[in-house]
Amino acid sequence: MFRAILLYLSRARWMKSLVTHWGLARRVARRFVAGETEDDAIAVIRKLNGMGITATVDILGENTTNAAEARRAADAYLHLIDRIPQEKLDSWVSVKLTALGLDVDPQVCLENMRGILDCARQHDIRVTIDMEDHTYTDRTLDMLRGLRKEGFKNAQGVIQSYLYRSEQDIPALANEGLDIRLCKGAYREPASVAYPKKRDVDEAYARLMKTLLDAARGGGGYPGIATHDPRLIEETRDYVGETQVDRVLFEFQMLYGVRPGLQEELIRDGYRLRVYVPFGSQWYPYLMRRLAERPANVWFFVSSLFRR
């Protein structure tokens, strides 16, 4: 129930207005968001790289309402991608199709994605097309597959374990050799399409993780095992040891500001780790989804407000 309330608030305009205009809340949100500017994100990525952690950087924003707005979002990505090699950073980028105009005009979105992927390809940077709520799943996977067929092999995707359909999507994508980030999912979904119980989501995640690692061992894709759940991380490590999956064939992925101690532990133990670094002025929906994922995040946020 608490998670559902937070996910509702992530879309509530009145709450967004209240929080985003509260300077104290903006500062505390910096635990999960690198900042509002490109320079803020670059500083965070440089620090992560210095710790042996790679990054994927996301310009926060979604659901643009016109072609000009979508074009500005694409241009911001082009500028960011050019700066990554200039700053000698080890980072990919992550994008949301709705930020690039998917709801405005699929053709506008497609042209924006082509431009981003072409620019990224010139710098040997991969682009992850993030998954949004279940109403976008087919359109997102269709565009990903279409772009790959056009030759954009630096495009990769995301699958959410809480969706029932992922049991079919993961084997199909793995057989196609696509690089996939596997996450649990952070949107409010109906029980008709997604597991309502955390235990079932976790069990599905473990099954799909093993499918992806089996495929990687056979040369099919480079999985990103994206979770902060210590039990699932330990299960992944055990499976890697049991089946002798080479550690260069996959990576763990985590969010900026979440379980930094566990991130450091994975690096010390010799695993690859990539951290998702979001930045931008449209940070409110992202923050609320992070709070909904884990009650400890809510306590951190509230207690930080009172301490300050």
Query: Active-site positions?
Result: 130, 181
The two structure tokens encoding residue 236: 């992944």
* 6 half-sphere exposure, CB direction, 13 A CA radius: 18
* 92 half-sphere exposure, CB direction, 13 A CA radius: 23
Any idea what DSSP says for residue 286? H
Backbone angles phi, psi at 299, to 5 degrees: -60, -40
What is the distance between the alpha carbons of residues 4 and 179, in angstroms, rounded to a whole number? 31
The two structure tokens encoding residue 226: 């994206």
Q: Say if strands 251-255 and 180-183 run parallel, antiparallel, or are unpaired.
A: unpaired
Return the closest-CA partner of residue 81 out of 52, 110, 122. 122
Any idea what DSSP says for residue 33? S
Chain-centroid distance of CA 141 in Å reads: 15
Query: By CB neighbour count within 10 A (0-12 exposed, 13-18 middle, 19+ buried), where does 173 fall?
Result: buried
Which residues, including other chains, have CB under 8 Å from residue 240's CB and lie 6 or more apart? Answer: 213, 247, 250
Helix 137-149 and helix 166-175, axial crossing angle in degrees, nearest 10: 0
Are 190 and 162 spatial neighbours (Cβ–Cβ below 8 Å)?
no
The two structure tokens encoding residue 28: 């505390």
